Amino acid sequence: MRCPPHVPGNCDSASSTGRLFGPGPRPDLAARAVTPDVTVLCSGDSGPIVGITQYKEKIARLLHRVPDLRREAINHADNGEVLFVEWIARGTGAHEPFEFSGIDRIRLRDGLIKEHRIYYDPAWLNLL
């Protein structure tokens, strides 16, 4: 299977999502991977995150809780504009290592992330 250009982590590390997430989230790279008006909807959040600054802050907060967070893409599908990525997240929580899975739906505009929906069981975050 050909690796699409925007799969985080395992494939093209120069792509938008690869720069942002692979091998671990990088808030400092968000400006190069997302559109200025990016919208992020995350399981368990009370509302959307809009714009590069809020996106970077969300990633930074997550990394503060789990500094060694990394995600591995295990499956993907894309049609050029929309990308679905199944992933496994691993890291060390407050008490022990953890692993859980989720799916991202990423809408691209001009090769950058315009909309990012992140689906996972938010109960995992309570255990970190």
59 inside domain: yes
Q: Residue 30 is part of which domain span?
A: 16-126
CA 103 from chain center: how many Å?
9
Structure tokens, 61: 């907060």
35 inside domain: yes
Residue 81 and residue 22 in contact, taking contact as beta carbons nearer than 8 Å: no
**Res 105: pLDDT:** 96
**Res 9: pLDDT:** 42
CATH number of the domain at 43, please: 3.10.450.50
**This prediction's pTM:** 0.75
Model confidence at 8, pLDDT cuts 50, 70, 90, reads very low
H helices, E strands: number in the chain: 4, 6
Model confidence at 107, pLDDT cuts 50, 70, 90, reads very high
Q: What is the count of structural domains for the chain?
A: 1
53 inside domain: yes
55 inside domain: yes
9 inside domain: no
